[in-house]
Structures are given as structure tokens and as C-alpha cells.
Amino acid sequence: MKCINCGTDNNLKDRTANQGRCQKCNHPFVFEPTNMGNVKITDPMFAKILADISANNTLFFTPKQLLYFLDSRLRNKSFKSLGFAGFYIFFNVWVTGFVGGILSGIMSSNSFLTANIIYQICVVIYLFNNTNSAKLNNASRKASAKSLQRLGVLILVVGILASLFVFNSYILFIIVVILGMSSIFLGTRQLGKVDSLAQEFLISQSYLEGWLERWQQINGSLPKILPSPRQEIAPATINPDVTAYSFDRLVVCDNSTIAQLLIANNFHFENNCAILSITGYPQSIFNTTMEMLRRNPDLKVYALHDCTPRGISLVHRLRSSDSWFLDSNVTIIDVGLLPRQIIATKRGMFIQNTPSITTEAKKLSQEIRQSLSAEELVWLDAGNFVELESFTPQRLIKVLQSGISGSSNLEGNDSSMILIGDSGNDIYMVESFG
């Protein structure tokens, strides 16, 4: 592992002999990959992750975004079809010879064939479990499903030829056909289900917090990582000349963390819009900002939210709350995450699942549930959800900018928005997220 301080390459012997420090400059290493179990992280890898998520230290990010980003990098090292092929061939020969040899004293000449069939069954089960694993990414699960299909074809071709021309066994022929067809069927079925399967983090937030604390103790503070949003109750003093001005656009987030992220990255300055959260963040300027916004008859409101029952309710809350835009004809544009976008995406988002989401989904008002398709309701009622923090700051900002840009001509043919409200009470929705 290379030292991030001087670039010297230290092998395990060097690191151990020097108590976890660089042999040349004595700089401590934060990570020791040989002691981390299945998750392997090195100091250079973590440094690159920090640089990449912050776009070379130009963008602020949240700890949860770092968790998602680190998780995605670790998952990219998961199941690989090429590596599996080598593994399969080696153990196919080894198990057939070794286990078959052990069984030969019991089963005579059929022992090697029996050992091989048992091995094929175990591999089919292993690959099938991979396609359902919450610890693998979609690419790995798809690779496992395709490997299931290929294995099924291999079993059929080799097995049928062997059963007819080598062993001359009708029973073996039936076993081979059943096993091969089952493998192809399972692989084909799972290939169509992979994108909708939930995932779990490979590491916990508490582990990451411990790593971050040690990293900052050794390598200095991380100025681009955001703390929890502060609750500033006392109103800030704003120049009267500023309050006379009003933004043409308002972005409302369903949680203060995303609002804080956008403000920290100067999204409001660069896109000439106000940014608030439905919870009233930032509290110190919330009331004053709302007074300014209500004076603008051309105001457009953009609702940015997670794909959760609470997030999907954001537009309804904006339209029905007297603290926001009750009895107002302001145009509201939903630029948040919706189930239909996640179901339709081909790239695969980080879908999580929890029973509490099922409970919240079934408590949604009839008006909100009627705005969702039957497929979306099934997806949501199953407890699935996706968070905005699963996207990097750079991508999240680009998606929001695209949503705002696409709304510039809501009545034109080039608009990417769908009208889902009545005239005078318009609500628009973005067809796809990013």
C-alpha cells in the first residue's frame, strides 16, 4: 500500500514492522486491508474516493452521500463473470476428482459422476443466491443471472452428449435436462428482476464515522464534508433593499440536509433561486424569504424529494398548506424521485427496503395514491425507497439544473415536463430523474 504522504510503497511486512506507519516518512496508515474482512480499503483508495465525490475538493457533500459513494466503489469489485469461469473450471475438476475419489469406496464407478452432479447443483444454487443478494450491485447480480443461463446451456450440451454416448443412461439424461433447463429458467427470470431488488450497505454509517474520525486525526480536517444542518431559530437581519427583491424560482426540499447541500454549493446564487426545506430550513431567513416569494406572480416552485411516501407527498403539502401555497395559482414542478422513474431506469439505483415504508405508503391520502400507477403502488407498498443522497453532489446538481432548464417552456414541445394538474392549479412532473 502506498503512503499518501510520500508515495512510498509499503508491503504488509513493512507496515507490520513499523507499527502501521510508512517505513520512509513514518506517516501512519488509516486502513489495514488485511484486517478488514470482506471489505478492503486502502489509504490511496479512500483519498481518491474523497477527491472524486467532492469533484477534486470543489463541492460539499454529506456523510450519507460518502457512504453511498464508498459502497458503490466496493460493489464494483464484486462478482465478475470472467473470474467465475476460472473458479468454475478449477473446482469442477478438483471436486470431481477429489470428492469422487473419496466416494469411490462407497459408490464404485458412479462416484465421480455423482460428485460432478452435486457440484453443478451447488453452483446453480450459488449463482441463484447471488442474483438475490442485497450485498451485490445490479451489475454483479445481472452477471450472476447470465452465468446461470450459460451454465444451463453448458450442462445441457455436455450432459446430454455424455448421457447418450458415454454412459448410455436414460436417468442421467433426465437429470441433466432438468438441471440445465432449471438453470436457464432461473437465470432468465432473475435477469428481469434484478433492477427492482433492494440493496443493503456493505458497511454501516457508524463504521464510516469511525474511519472519518481517524482519517481527520491523521490527515487533517475535511472542509468539504457537511455537518448536520443547524437549527437557527432567531431570524436574521436582512437589508430592506434585499427584501424588496424576489426570486423567480424556489426549490423546496423534503429534508433540510439536501437544502443545506444545495446552499453550501451555491446553487441558489448560480441558478438565481431560493432554496428552502419543507421543515423550514434555514429557519433564520425562512419567513422573510417566503414574504419575498409570495410577491412574485411569476414564481415557479420546484419540489425536490426522496422516493419515499413522505417525499412523494411534498407537492401535495406545498399545495395544501397555508404556510406554503394554499389557494395560490403558483406553478409547482415535481423534480424529485418517483417510483415510475426508478422502475423505468436502466442504470439501476440504490433501492432499499424497510417495513416502515410499507406502513407510511398505505397511509398516503387517496388523492396521492390515485396519482400513482398500479405498478408504482405495488413497488411502494412493498417497502421500497430511494434517497437523493444516493447521488453524488455533482450529479444531483446537474439533475436539478436540467429540471429547471426543462421547465423554461412548459407549453412548448421541447419541455420534458408532464402536466398532472388542473388549469389554474398546475403541477408538472419530470419524466425521468437525470
The DSSP annotation for 58-69 comes to TS-B-HHHHHHH
Beta-carbon contacts of 98 under 8 Å, excluding residues fewer than 6 positions away, are none
Question: Cell numbers at residue 263, please?
Answer: 446552499
Burial environment of residue 194 by CB neighbours within 10 A (0 to 12, 13 to 18, 19 or more):
buried
pLDDT value at 6 more than 70: yes
* Residue-wise pLDDT tens digits, 208-246: 999 999 999 999 999 999 988 865 444 444 444 444 456
Q: How far apart are CA 130 and CA 313, in angstroms?
A: 35
| More reliable by pLDDT, 410 or 349 | 349
Share of the chain above pLDDT 70, in %: 85
pLDDT value at 410 more than 80: no
* Residue-wise pLDDT tens digits, 268-326: 888 889 999 999 999 888 888 888 888 888 899 999 999 999 999 999 999 998 889 88
| More reliable by pLDDT, 426 or 202 | 202
- Which three-class secondary structure state does DSSP give residue 313? coil
- Which three-class secondary structure state does DSSP give residue 55? coil
Largest CA distance in the chain: 96
DSSP 253: E
- Which three-class secondary structure state does DSSP give residue 21? strand
Q: Is the dihedral of CA 301, 306, 312, 313 positive or negative?
A: negative
Number of other residues whose CB lies within 10 A of the CB of residue 191 = 17
Q: How far apart are CA 119 and CA 99, in angstroms?
A: 10
Whether a cis peptide bond, with omega within 30° of 0, leads into 309 is no
Q: How far apart are CA 208 and CA 10, in angstroms?
A: 24
Q: How far apart are CA 351 and CA 342, in angstroms?
A: 9
Q: Are 335 and 250 in contact (CB under 8 A)?
A: no
pLDDT value at 413 more than 50: no
Find residue 419's DSSP bridge partners: 428
Q: Which pLDDT does position 189 carry in this prediction?
A: 92
Q: How far apart are CA 127 and CA 141, in angstroms?
A: 9
Q: Which pLDDT does position 74 carry in this prediction?
A: 85
Q: Is the dihedral of CA 420, 318, 430, 68 positive or negative?
A: negative
Beta-carbon contacts of 3 under 8 Å, excluding residues fewer than 6 positions away, are 9, 10, 22, 24, 25, 27, 29, 43
- What is the model's pTM? 0.81
Averaged pLDDT of the chain: 85
